[in-house]
Amino acid sequence: MKIPRALLHPRHWPTWAGIGLLRLIVLLPHPAIMAIGGGLGLLLYPFALRRRQIAEINLRLCLPERDDKARQRLLRQHFAALGRGLLEIGMAWWWPRRRLEALLLGVEGAERLPPDDGRGTIFLTAHFSSLELSGRYLGARRPSHAMYRPNENPVLQYLIDRNRCRHMLGIIPRDDVRGMIRVLKQGGAVWFAPDQNYSRKGKVFADFMGVPAATHTATSRFARATGARVVPFVLLREPGGYRLYIEPEIAHMGEDPALDAQRVNAVFGRWARIAPAQYNWIHRRFKTRPDDGPPPYPARRPKH
């Protein structure tokens, strides 16, 4: 595929330089990639003040049983995991399947992968640091589409489109509701991660690790509109590789959006407790409050 000429403009050269460096790093052995990624995350730790503050607040709200020292250790581990996840994007894009499969330590619940029986499947996951890599492992077992949020950087968006489409059936922008429904009604599978703050119409407040969280009801609505099954899955990083978990289908999705949101959040919260360093704590998950009060996060500095 020929690169669009507009993406070769000098203003995009820093992005291309970063992509080139990523491409070189992922040629290394996996232990070296993980060491570099962890070091990169820790290198960014002192400079990512706002994201660090957001993560500190989320950890305090969601893991109040841990003392301050334990949460600070976890915060540093989280930034190391973010750095590793950044390099895993390159692995997901460019590694051959044989090399990736050599790192898969196991598939828990492989028997739960639904058959290709003409009924749509929503593969439900959350924003863990190995998210991009999880799509490769899932797609190798059940060809799927990915629903995603378009990136503001045109070079990155071009690369996301190009590389995800190489390993998946296609990609669906998150606002393309008709596209999502069409694929599911045709019996296809869609990979969907709805675990972020949602402030618009179509939300409910559901408990997430003991905190009310504005939760998107899209999963419930898609299941109701298409009759699709909802199967949670997650990829977790372990020493020496990765383990893919396929959860049981969440039954009767679509009957009660509020109950569905609670059940989905319970699954995500359980995963976050299993591998807390790998969950995305730098997102403002609790920005929207039930009483329309101020969010628990520091205000952004005004731009001058």
Segments making up each domain of the chain, as ranges? 10-278
Report yes or no: 236 and 278 within 8 Å, Cβ to Cβ: yes
CA distance 247 to 241: 20
Average pLDDT, 10 consecutive residues per value, the chain (304 residues): 87 94 97 98 96 97 96 98 97 96 96 91 95 94 88 90 86 88 94 85 91 93 95 96 97 94 96 97 94 87 57
Report yes or no: 134 and 244 within 8 Å, Cβ to Cβ: yes
Residues 179, 180, 183, 186: is their CA dihedral positive or negative? negative
Cα angle 48, 49, 54 (rounded to 5 degrees) comes to 100
pLDDT of residue 214: 94
3-state secondary structure (DSSP) of residue 203: strand
Number of Cβ within 10 Å of residue 251's Cβ equals 9
pLDDT of residue 166: 87
pLDDT of residue 197: 85
